[in-house]
Amino acid sequence: MRTLLTGWGRTAPSAATLVETGDVAGLLRSRPERGVIARGLGRSYGDAAQNAGGTVLAPIPGPTTVDDETGVVTAAAGTSLHDLMGRLLRERRFVPVTPGTRYVTVGGAVAADIHGKNHHRDGSFGHHVLSLDLVTPDGALRTIDPDREPDLFWATVGGMGLTGVITSVRFRAPRIESAYVTVRTERIGGLDALLRTMRAHDDEYHYSVAWVDTLASGRSLGRSVLTRGDHAPAAELSGGAARHPWRGPADPRLAVPVTLRAVNRLGVRAFNELWFRKAPRDAVGLESLATFFHPLDAVEGWNRLYGRGGLVQYQLVVPDDAEAAVAEALRLLAAAGQPSFLAVLKRFGAAGPGMLSFPQPGWTLALDLPAAPGLVPLFRDLDRLTAEAGGRLYLAKDARMSRELFDRTYPRADEFRALRRDLDPDGVLTSDLARRLDL
């Protein structure tokens, strides 16, 4: 079935043949014209799960098993984190890492080596993977782990689906004490105070993230709402939370039925002012897992609020000592007047061994912006700033990075290409992202 596909940002659409099959090996051995790429739930913002003129493999959910004693989970790659969380909560466990949406698949979590609010403590998803089943381009099913075919394993973690089709993943899920998080919320008036607070105290909390007002400038540059939290002990719950301490995340309760551009500068300025003012100066409260980790998942199709032009998420990371680059990025955004109501700053801990994994120790800033031609000069300045600071952009969010910038900022790019040439000489696996960056 020929289908027009986009990433979550709804930019750069391309048409491909979308197939659903459990015979992954047969599909790869048939060597479809213009290749194959596996797709999860379409939450990569850019073109990583598109294949113009080729074949795209739809996700197939499967069974999940949990070892009660060890916490080792075996999940089909097509399983969503939403469904997985429901299963794990019955075992009093949680996923080791979750991004800002639970509507991603386990296979996608490995392919994009996702990170969350706990990266400074727990690393990215790849840190928790014990082994995975991978159908390589020759149709062979391989079980690989950090000791068994380590080069292929670490090329697959963060490899954007270009080393094979992941069919199953084994990882360890930590125990938690309830389906709630004790959250400390602080309103912080400027960037210097925010960076100082995060640097000094992030390690005291399991999770940490700051929402940043990107339209604030001058003395208010970087004003923010910092939220940090830990899983709440069941004994400390009260009210409805105490009656239902293991209530899992619900399906979306609202939907955006039509594509309507509702995100503009005036609206975002008003939202940012309201969001900052309504936050407590310093308070501790209880939040559900869904509210703390995935607030936007309550609204189905929220990306339609950016109109037919879609949105771009720009996520950069710079080293720990490059705080000045974060400040300069926010100055560039404020000067450009580009509206972003979703702008978050986090601290990363240790980098993983994935050849193309995004995280590195330092600061990561993610921005949602309405797609528009006027963004080109801003992105060019942010690209230069990031590269000069020793940072890079996240492939799962990207739809526009040049090969030159990629090669400059991903030091193992040629090592990944060499592995791909040996593994897949006929280019059976490919994507729009792979063609753009010559992977």
Task: Supply the DSSP string of 249-260, one letter for each residue.
Answer: PPPPSEE--S--
pLDDT value for 336: 87
Is residue 209 within 8 A of residue 287, CB to CB? The reply is no
Record the pTM.
0.95
Q: Quickly state the pLDDT bin for 271 (edges 50, 70, 90).
A: confident
CA distance 157 to 155: 6
Token pair belonging to 74: 């075996």
CATH number of 180-405: 3.30.70.2520
Is residue 392 within 8 A of residue 386, CB to CB? The reply is yes
Write the DSSP symbol of residue 164: -
pLDDT value for 148: 93
Q: Quickly state the pLDDT bin for 275 (edges 50, 70, 90).
A: confident
Average pLDDT over residues 368-389: 94
CB contact set of 359 (below 8 Å; sequence gap of 6+): 113, 115, 119, 123, 124, 317, 348, 349, 351, 352
pLDDT value for 217: 86
User: Above 90 in pLDDT, residue 267?
Assistant: no
Angle separating helix axes 323-336 and 191-201, nearest 10 degrees: 140
Write the DSSP symbol of residue 359: -
CA distance 219 to 324: 15
Domain residue limits, the chain:
64-176, 180-405
Token pair belonging to 72: 């080792």
Please classify residue 305 by burial: count the beta carbons closer than 10 Å to its beta carbon, then call 0-12 exposed, 13-18 middle and 19+ buried.
middle
User: Above 80 in pLDDT, residue 205?
Assistant: yes
Fold of 64-176: 3.30.465
111: left (phi over 0), alpha (psi -120 to 50) or beta: alpha
pLDDT value for 263: 73
